Amino acid sequence: MDIRLNGVSKSFGDQLAIDHVGFTINSGDICCLLGPSGSGKTTLIRLMIGALAADKGSIQIGETIMPNMSMLHNIGFMPQNDGLYDDLSAEANLEFFGSIYKLGKTTLQQRITEVLTLVDLTADRKKLVRNFSGGMKKRLSLAIAILHQPDVLFLDEPTVGIDPILRRQIWDQFQAIRASGTTIVVSTHVMDEVLECDRAALIYNGRLIAYDTVPHLLDQTENGRVEELFLIAGREGGTDHA
Amino acid sequence: MRNLAKRVIFQTLNDKRSVALILIAPLLILTLVYFLLGDSDYVPVVVLDENAQTQLVEAFEAETLDVRLDTVDNPFGYLEDNKDVDAIFEATQEGTTITLREPSTKSSKAVREIQAALSALNPAADIEMNYVYGEEGQSTFDSFGYVFLSLFSFFFVFILSAMALVKERSGGTLERLLMTPIKRGQVILGYTLGYGVFAVVQSVFIVLYTIYVLGLTSLGNIGWVFLVMILMAGTAVLFGATISVFARSELQVVQMIPFTIIPQVFFSGLIPLDLIPYGLGNLSYIMPIFYGATAIKEVMVYGSGFSGIWVYVLGLIVYAGILYLLNMRALGKYRGH
């Protein structure tokens, strides 16, 4: 499913958080929302999911205009702070979220086995989450987000606070999920992670300052450093890529 | 909704402290209250003049008093010097004087026993007190025990639900939950049902323990007491959920207790509302514990049935309904639709 944003703006009181942002994420792509902390990445994700309504403009996932309750069946979401029940086991967390999607007992157990294998937590399925390491929590959080096989997956800063080896493993898992046809939107402030994506949207002060394929974006730099993109695009000002 | 309730139950069971808070803490505190406010076997020490008439001394000794004979020139100084003495009784031509250390339950007990001794000497002065409900000389626990039933059924469930929901907000689980196709009403009712199960068990524990172990009497059917306590606990879940909206951490929930719970204690029946000046007693109508405590008093003290408590039950239901709507509104901020 593709995602289309048309001139989206959102304010909180006097604060303009998202300023006339427009671009299209192609179906099956990994799109990176790249920008420094506080640039508006999380707000943009919350708008795309439908957790917030835009003040101006529109957001469409496939043919559905967001926010839309029934579209939540097709959306997977991994929040920044994991969103796990510490007093439950990994399996019980998955069973609970799976039951909300009404997966059916057999399908749910099958999917739990599949996602735990994917995130390499099969041996830890009975352990209470409060005994998990930070990395294990991230992987379980990802497993919950993909449990119901969503068409679109939103990952809010999934690798923040994660060591480089685990980060590599997590990105491998994203690539595996993408291979099944899922569109992935991932926010990050780690510049190098843009290299893992098909396209990147550069967000700065709530504005879209560049959106293109990663090779095209890197072609615009002198030294091939992602940070330069912010400097270059910042000089050019925000653009609408819808 | 059932799945959410099931999750709340399993999650709470996995946290032993929460289970202890709900099931053991109320019984422990009720037991303490029972001993603190129950019948005391304390024997007050009263000093009589050593030249007092034998008849007077015998009358005093016939009561639950430790009678000492001594010469007292300065009662105030004597009490200062003799910390174990509660009262000094002096009968002269001018009249009778009782000097006490300070206004306290010990002093009250000493005065009661002295009055009983004087009544024995002069039966015409013996005043018989009759009460429509309760009896003379019943302990403070017998008089106010019902208040603690409603207080505890509300307070511990409130603490548990407010803390749990603050944790859900700060930990991102509530945000994640509301990014699934679950309906907001299902979320609120799921939590209420989940904690409601603990509330039912807690109510059974508290009521049976209070009546059959601590000996608090109930004139009415304790089934109505169960009903009120379960409604109270359900309201407490919603009250806790509402308070959690305004708290960013568990600490902030604790900081709100003096503003939200402690005032309710004073309007729960410990103090007669018509004694509270400036019409402040009317504040009780905005306090859920008032409805629960009054209904429980109606059943346990006055022996009322449903006809005597329906107004308060309705009050609790309306209160819970308002809190439900407030929570629906609060959860709306997680969804743009």
Determine whether A118 is exposed, middle or buried from the number of CB atoms within 10 Å of its CB (0-12, 13-18, 19+): middle
DSSP A241: B
Determine whether A219 is exposed, middle or buried from the number of CB atoms within 10 Å of its CB (0-12, 13-18, 19+): exposed
Q: Is the peptide bond before A67 cis (omega within 30 degrees of 0)?
A: yes
- pLDDT, residue B128, reads 77
Measured CA to CA, the distance from residue B135 to residue B115 in angstroms comes to 18
Q: B248 contacts in A (CB within 8 Å)?
A: none
Q: A92 contacts in B (CB within 8 Å)?
A: 7, 10
**Chain A nearest C-alpha distance from B252 (Å):** 20
Measured CA to CA, the distance from residue B333 to residue A101 in angstroms comes to 22
Amino acid identity, position A69: M
Measured CA to CA, the distance from residue A189 to residue B283 in angstroms comes to 52
- Identify the residue whose tokens are 């307070």: B155
Enclosing H/E stretch for B28: helix B25-37
Q: B21 contacts in A (CB within 8 Å)?
A: none
Q: Do A79 and B172 touch (CB under 8 A)?
A: yes
- What is the bridge-based pairing of β-strands A152-156 and A183-188? parallel
B-contacting residues in A 192-231 (Cβ below 8 Å): none
Report the residue from B6, B7, B336 with minimal CB separation from A67. B336
Find out whether A45 and A153 touch, Cβ atoms under 8 Å: no
CA distances from residue B270 to B108, B147, B293, B329 in whole angstroms, order as listed: 19, 7, 10, 34
Given its phi and psi angles, is residue B98 left (phi above 0), alpha (psi -120 to 50 degrees) or beta? beta
Map residue B205 onto helix, strand or coil.
helix
Measured CA to CA, the distance from residue A124 to residue A129 in angstroms comes to 9
End-to-end CA distance of chain A: 16
Q: Do A67 and B180 touch (CB under 8 A)?
A: no
Q: Do A100 and B3 touch (CB under 8 A)?
A: yes
Q: Do B171 and A100 touch (CB under 8 A)?
A: no
**Chain A nearest C-alpha distance from B192 (Å):** 17
pLDDT in tens, chain A (242 residues): 899 999 999 999 889 999 999 999 999 999 999 888 888 999 999 999 988 889 999 999 999 999 888 899 999 999 888 899 998 999 999 999 999 988 888 999 999 999 998 888 999 999 999 999 888 998 899 899 999 999 999 999 888 777 788 788 888 888 888 888 899 999 988 877 888 899 999 898 899 988 989 888 888 778 777 777 777 655 655 444 44
Q: Do B172 and A47 touch (CB under 8 A)?
A: no
Q: Do A86 and B171 touch (CB under 8 A)?
A: yes
- pLDDT, residue A232, reads 65
CA distances from residue B106 to A203, B90, B287 in whole angstroms, order as listed: 74, 19, 34
Q: Do B336 and A51 touch (CB under 8 A)?
A: yes
CA distances from residue A208 to A10, A16, A73, A215 in whole angstroms, order as listed: 13, 13, 28, 18
Find out whether A87 and B15 touch, Cβ atoms under 8 Å: yes
Find out whether A220 and A235 touch, Cβ atoms under 8 Å: no
- pLDDT, residue B107, reads 87
- pLDDT, residue A239, reads 47
Find out whether A66 and A177 touch, Cβ atoms under 8 Å: no
Other Cβ atoms within 10 Å of B129 Cβ, number: 7
Determine whether B308 is exposed, middle or buried from the number of CB atoms within 10 Å of its CB (0-12, 13-18, 19+): middle
Q: A83 contacts in B (CB within 8 Å)?
A: 171-173, 175-177
Q: Do B11 and A66 touch (CB under 8 A)?
A: no
- What is the bridge-based pairing of β-strands B87-92 and B95-100? antiparallel
What would the two tokens of residue B314 be? 């309705």
Q: Do A51 and B176 touch (CB under 8 A)?
A: no
Q: A49 contacts in B (CB within 8 Å)?
A: 179
- Identify the residue whose tokens are 């920008």: A35
Q: Do B175 and A100 touch (CB under 8 A)?
A: no
Residue A28 near chain B (CB below 8 Å): no
Report the residue from A66, A73, A96 with minimal CB separation from B181. A73
Residue-wise burial string across B318-333, b where 16 or more C-beta atoms lie within 10 A, e elsewhere: ebbeebbebbeebbee
Residue-wise burial string across B101-121, b where 16 or more C-beta atoms lie within 10 A, e elsewhere: beeeebbebbbebbebbbbbe
Q: Do A85 and B11 touch (CB under 8 A)?
A: yes
Map residue A18 onto helix, strand or coil.
strand
Q: Classify the C-alpha dihedral B196-B200-B202-B203 as positive or negative.
A: positive
Q: A86 contacts in B (CB within 8 Å)?
A: 171
Q: Do B179 and A128 touch (CB under 8 A)?
A: no
- pLDDT, residue A234, reads 59
Residue A92 near chain B (CB below 8 Å): yes
Report the residue from A53, A68, A79 with minimal CB separation from B175. A79
DSSP per position, chain A: --EEEEEEEEEETTEEEEEEEEEEEPTT-EEEEE--TTSSHHHHHHHHHTSS--SEEEEEETTEEES-TGGGGGEEEE-TT----TTSBHHHHHHHHHHHTT--HHHHHHHHHHHHHHTT-GGGTTSBGGGS-HHHHHHHHHHHHHTT--SEEEEESTTTT--HHHHHHHHHHHHHHHHTT-EEEEEES-GGGGGGSSEEEEEETTEEEEEEEHHHHHHTSSS--HHHHHHHHHHH----B-
Q: Could you tell me how many CB contacts below 8 A there are between chain A and chain B? A: 79
Write the pLDDT tens digit of every residue in B231-246: 998 899 999 989 988 8
What would the two tokens of residue A8 be? 């989206």
Report the residue from B7, B173, B179 with minimal CB separation from A51. B179
Q: Do A96 and B181 touch (CB under 8 A)?
A: no
Q: Could you say which residues of chain B have pLDDT below 50? A: none
- pLDDT, residue A242, reads 44
Strand ranges of the sheet holding A64-66, from the earlier edge strand across to the other edge: A15-25, A3-12, A56-61, A64-66
